């Protein structure tokens, strides 16, 4: 039993053409499944970048937006205590 028909020997005619078509279709499907997570990640990253640029433009466009507000580009992390119970 073959999962992906990657090597076909001894077949002639329409059956061979159909096997080649299915082989190409399987390879394209495999490529799409491997590339899909990267494409989704890239599109989400671009959406976040657009939101950040829009927020920066809105902040600058406000009257006195850049001069009166403190610089907020550095994030401050606050640790909260975690209690482990045994």
pLDDT band of 63, cuts 50, 70, 90 = confident
Under 8 Å between Cβ of 27 and 19: no
pLDDT band of 61, cuts 50, 70, 90 = confident
For residue range 69-81, what is the model confidence (pLDDT) as tens digits?
555 555 555 556 6
């Amino acid at each position: 039993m073959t999962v992906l028909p990657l090597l076909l020997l001894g077949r002639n005619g329409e059956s061979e053409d159909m096997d080649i078509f299915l082989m190409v279709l399987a390879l394209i499907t495999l490529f799409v499944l491997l590339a899909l997570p990267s494409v989704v990640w890239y599109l989400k990253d671009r959406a976040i970048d657009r939101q950040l640029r829009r927020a920066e433009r809105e902040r600058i466009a406000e009257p006195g937006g850049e001069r009166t507000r403190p610089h907020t580009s550095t994030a401050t992390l606050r640790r909260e205590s975690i209690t482990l119970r045994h």
